[in-house]
Chains A and B, each alone.
Chain A
Amino acid sequence: MTAPKKITVTIDGQQCEGTAGQTILDIASAHQIYIPTLCYLKHLSPWGGCRMCIVEVSGSNRLVPSCATPAADGSTVTTNSGRLQGLRKATLELLFSERNHVCPICPMNKGDCDLQNQAYRSGLDHIELPYLYPALPMDVSGRYFGIDHNRCILCTRCVRACEDMEGVHTLDVAYRGQRNLVIVDLNTTFGESTTCTSCGACVASCPTGALFDKSQAFRGKLNSCQTVKTTCTECPVGCGLLVFTKEDRIVEVFGDLESPVSHGHLCRKGRYETWAEPKPRLTQPLIKGQPATWEAALQYLRAAYAKAPHWQTGLLVSPRVTNETAAALVKLADKFERVGVRVAPNEAALCVQPERAEESLKRMENADAFILVGVDLPRHQGVLAAKVRTTVRKHGAKLLIFGCPPSDLDHYAAVTGHAVSLERAFWKKVSDLLLTVRHPVLLYGPEAMSPVGTTVLEKLIKAFELNQVGQPPVLVPVPTSTNSFGAVAAGLEPVEDVADWIADKPLTFLPILVGDEPDGGARWLRDRQVKSLLEQIECVVVQAAYRSPLTDLATVALPAPAWNEKAGTVTNFEGRELPVRPVLPARGRDEAQVWEELLA
């Protein structure tokens, strides 16, 4: 591969170096030369529609949008002449007069609005043009966000975020001229949309207050909030979060653009469910359902532990524990007869698979075929689903789906085998499809470790052996539980069937470290018989951040820190150790520390 050609451009009298293909804006910002923008966002495809970034290029009387114009070697660019300033001001006046921008009543007022900031910068103290005052609707039917068309400047950042980041293309622009309107699906509402995944990428991209998060609006200016970068612990992808806080509450959660894993994208779980959904917090220890002090609860536990025979003690852990908590628990393992971490069915075998696909999202971007086996990406790992969708839509990558629950990805699939077929014709079609692919990526989940799943994997490997042109597939194991890789690597024994594990040997003392599972551990009771089995145990201790039927059932329930109160690391599906940082002061005690204290 030859190195890209170096070019030199003179911008505002400054000699700037860049590489061929870079836009004028890219080179200018690399040299700290400011060009105002509105519709441009670095991580979205350029559009060149707002005309704020227009520049003069020597030898041409035509002004060009610098965000969408590749710089020509040896050219001279002017970014801030009187003519440009006047035109930019006129552009802003057109935007302000076109719709109903009433700054004092907008949640993005005072610094969070790009349109307002640009107008201040231009010294726009009044609008010469007559205002149009169009009657425009608002849609607040979505669960987490709404759109107020009065404040929309039609920059299409939301449309491009929806297409480029989530790949669902829920948003687009309808009608012509002054009647231009951003619409949802075929002109329905967010509440009724069948394609919107509530990933919130559109809201995070909006330069004005047109798209706004309901939980954020009027609750604090983002530019006056404190920010903490941490890792989402809702699934094993490990996306980077940028959390905005004010006076010890969360104001907003955006994707961290600098995250090496997710590059700024999030799914509904990380973006909203962790903070914009009301959840009953367990704030005080409970003994048999009655509120108690920590001292009383620990006293009770000390006595209960002393009374229980060692061979009848056990400890069950949620796979959401941090690596540090897992390591601390492994050290305490001799205090309990049995210690296990609850994982999804068939996940134990996945945890010991040797592959850890590093930089897998980057590799997914360059893939020309995806093979999904036994995973449910749209439901569990939304950001991976988004990456599959965008790559398939943009580059026409092939998609083959085996043994995955039905989802919107099926629309794009060349092959969908929900119940795996043994027909020869089916597998002939599969190997024909794989015959010419060059950069395949195979994502497989816990279900791929089941007997049916392994049969599929074997057949796929045979199909790939016939492929003479491409590389062997990048194998990406995708667990369902957040930190099952980390917890198992730390030495905790994976437990797939909690009921079997409990019934295996008698138990009189069983702490369950539910941690910050969003349902407070209610899902533990969904497994067959677990409820009745737990009821027979003399002392069940539940450490959870949220109240649930499980904490109500517990002999002793102890508050645990929530996702935003912990410190430590988690291991993501790529085997990457990612930092979890406390965002708010803890309202529960670290699960492992409680036992270190009690059993010391």
Chain B
Amino acid sequence: MSAKRKVTIGTIWLSGCSGCHMSFLDLDERLVELAQHADILFSPIMDIKFADMPEVDVGIVEGCVNNEDQEHELKKLRSKCKILIALGDCAVMGNVPAMRNQFKLQDCLQRAYVETESTVIGEVPEHPVVPKLLPKARPLQEVVKVDVSVPGCPPDADTIWYALTELLAGRTPKWDERNFKYD
């Protein structure tokens, strides 16, 4: 494998709690092994900035698509990567961030910024730098084509390792009741 070019990976974090990235860090000593086969070019857990997103082989996404900025970022990653992995329940099925979908967006904002018990004078933030929320929070496959779904809230480090090693070996991960879960 060493003769081959190293696989490049980039990860982004949309509407999620960062738990999936924590679970990724939970790979522990396996991160060293992963570094022998792959380079992580960008990720919220790395202190590195690019003027423009570089092209990668594998794009990993935590969280669902909740606002215009996230939609833009996801579409950009899709255009820059060969394989897109939806990591965790939020990315795969919306999960907790999508629970707002059964209510009107305006009602959610009103409840969160104005009617909260601890709020004295509240207002819904409306500034050009604050990304606009989409009418519905959506899982990734409703916005772009997803190649591999890794459910879990968060997925175990073992599950992530299984998905990555299968991909590195050129196979598609096969899920059954033994190696994945929704919680």
* A504 adjacent to chain B (CB < 8 Å): no
Q: Which of A133-141, A183-191, A342-350 contacts B (4 or more CB under 8 A)?
A: A133-141
Interface stretch (choices A114-122, A196-204, A223-231, A583-591): A114-122
Q: Is the CB of A131 within 8 A of B95?
A: no
Pick the residue among B99, B101, B182 that contacts A116 (CB under 8 A). B182
Q: Choose one: A104, A105, A121, A133; the contact of B101 (CB below 8 Å).
A: A133
Q: Determine whether the beta carbon of B177 is less than 8 Å from that of A121.
A: yes
Q: Which residue of A lies closest to B181 (CB)?
A: A120
B28-36, B55-63, B117-125, B144-152: which lies at the interface: B144-152
On whether the beta carbons of B176 and A104 are closer than 8 Å, the reply is no
Contact B183 A126 (CB under 8 A): no
Are A126 and B142 in contact (CB-based, < 8 A)? no
Instruction: Collect the chain A residues with CB atoms within 8 Å of residue B89's CB.
Output: 103-104
* Structural contact, B182 and A127, CB atoms closer than 8 A: no
Report if A334 contacts B (CB, 8 A).
no
Distance A109 CA – B153 CA, assembled complex (angstroms): 11
Pairwise interchain contact B101-A128, C-beta atoms closer than 8 A: no
Q: Is the C-beta of A130 less than 8 angstroms from some C-beta in chain B?
A: yes
> Is B182 within 8 A of A109, CB to CB?
yes
Would you call A278 an interface residue if the criterion is a C-beta within 8 Å of the partner chain's C-beta atoms? no
Binary A-proximity of B43-84 (CB < 8 A = 1, otherwise 0): 000000000000000000000000000000000000000000
User: A110 vs B103: C-alpha distance in the bound complex, in angstroms?
Assistant: 28
Q: Kindly state whether residue B96 has any CB partner on chain A within 8 Å.
A: yes
Query: Cα distance A120–B93 when bound, in Å?
Result: 15
Tell me if A134 and B102 are in contact (CB < 8 A). yes
Q: Provide the residues of chain B in CB contact with A128, threshold 8 Å.
A: 141
Distance to closest chain B CB from A264 (angstroms): 27
Contacting residue for A103 out of B142, B149, B177, B182, CB 8 A: B182
Q: Are B182 and A126 in contact (CB under 8 A)?
A: no
Does the CB pair B96–A102 fall under 8 Å? yes
Contact A110 B183 (CB under 8 A): yes
Closest chain B residue, CB of each to CB of A133: B101
Q: Which residues of B contact A126 (CB under 8 A)?
A: 86, 92-93, 139, 141, 146, 149, 151
| A110 cross-chain contacts in B, Cβ below 8 A | 181, 183
CA distance A182 to B183 in the complex (A): 27
| CB neighbours of A100 from chain B (8 A) | 99, 101-102
With an 8 A cutoff between CB atoms, is A59 at the interface? no
Q: Is the CB of A131 within 8 A of B153?
A: no
Note all chain A residues with C-beta closer than 8 A to B102.
Answer: 100, 133-136, 150
B94 at the binding interface (Cβ < 8 Å): yes
Tally chain B residues at the interface, Cβ within 8 Å: 29
Residues 124-158 of B contacting A (Cβ, < 8 Å): 136, 139, 141-142, 146, 149-151, 153
A109/B183 in contact, CB under 8 A? yes
For residue B180, CB closer than 8 A to chain A, the reply is yes
Interface flag for A248 (CB, 8 Å): no
B151's nearest neighbour on chain A, judged by CB, is: A125
For A134, the chain B residues whose CB sits under 8 A away are: 102
Please, which residues of chain A bring their CB within 8 A of the CB of B93? 96, 126-127, 131
Which residues in A have their C-beta under 8 angstroms from that of B146? 126
A103-B98 in contact (CB<8A): no
Q: How far is the CA of A105 from the CA of B96 in the complex (A)?
A: 8
- B176 partner, pick from A102, A123, A131, A150, beta carbons under 8 A: A123
Q: What residue of chain A has the Cβ atom nearest to residue B140's Cβ? A: A126
Docked Cα-Cα span, A150 to B98, in Å, equals: 13
Given the complex of chains A and B, what is the CA–CA distance between A126 and B84 in angstroms?
A: 14
Q: Does B162 contact A (CB under 8 A)?
A: no
Q: Closest chain A residue to B91 by CB distance?
A: A126
B171 interface contact, C-beta 8 A: no
The answer to whether B99 touches A102 (Cβ under 8 A) is yes
Nearest-neighbor residue (CB-CB) of A117 within chain B: B177
Q: Closest B residue to A134 by CB, please name it.
A: B102
Q: Are B141 and A125 in contact (CB under 8 A)?
A: no
> B139 → chain A, closest Cβ, in Å?
7
**Contact residues of A between 85 and 129, Cβ < 8 Å to B:** 96, 100, 102-105, 109-110, 116-117, 119-121, 123, 125-128
Can you report 5 A-B residue pairs in the complex whose CB atoms are below 8 A from each other?
A100-B101, A104-B96, A120-B177, A127-B139, A131-B101
Q: Which residues of B contact A (CB under 8 A)?
A: 86, 89, 92-96, 98-99, 101-103, 136, 139, 141-142, 146, 149-151, 153, 174-177, 180-183
Q: Which 4 A-B pairs have the closest CB atoms?
A: A103-B182, A133-B101, A120-B177, A126-B149
20 further A-B contacts with Cβ under 8 Å, apart from A123-B177, A126-B151, are A96-B93, A100-B102, A102-B98, A103-B89, A103-B182, A110-B181, A120-B180, A123-B175, A125-B92, A125-B149, A125-B151, A125-B175, A126-B93, A126-B139, A126-B149, A127-B139, A131-B93, A133-B101, A133-B136, A136-B102
